Amino acid sequence: MNAEVKPLDRAEAEEYASWFKALADATRIQIVSLLARRREPMTVGEIVSVSGVGQSTVSHHLKILAEVRFVLVERQGTSSLYRINEACVSCFPTAADVVMGKPVPASPACDRTGDRDGT
């Protein structure tokens, strides 16, 4: 056998892939970095006004970012308030470390504290 060192488990690789896929678009990166710099929520309209793309497109991107929990949503009146998921601020760079082979301690990489699902 030649595989004395094996790659990541397929399941783990697929989870990380879903994270990277969510950021595999310049517009979504701008949205995430914007929400991360502002620690406070932003409405869709505010994001639209700085994103350079249409409202439906921004809504679509926000949905993708929310599906992987990079951002969290909260409705307030007619607006939807989007904010960064603080848990991902720390867990995502750790995922990048793991992919790049850095041995990561047994600490929970992403416990998603403060995350709630609205099923």
Footprint of its own copies on this chain (CB under 8 A)?
Answer: 2-3, 5-8, 10, 13-14, 16-17, 20-21, 23-34, 36-38, 46, 49-52, 84, 88-90, 92-93, 95-102
Given candidates 8, 13, 54, 111, which one binds DNA under the rule CB under 7 A?
A: 54
Assign residue 74 a region (left: φ > 0; alpha: ψ between -120 and 50; beta: otherwise).
Answer: beta
DSSP collapsed to 3 states, 45-84: HHHHHHHCCCHHHHHHHHHHHHHCCCEEEEEECCEEEEEE
Q: Of 44, 113, 57, nearest to 34 (Cα)?
A: 44
Beta bridge partners of 80: 75
C-beta of 25 vs 67, nearer to its own copies: 25
Residue 57 φ/ψ, nearest 5 degrees? -70, -45
Least CB distance to DNA at residue 2 (A): 11
Q: Is 70 in the site for DNA (CB under 7 A)?
A: no
Least CB distance to its own copies at residue 48 (A): 11
Which one of DNA, its own copies, none is in contact with 104 (Cβ closer than 5 to 8 A by kind)?
Answer: none
Q: Is 93 in the site for DNA (CB under 7 A)?
A: no
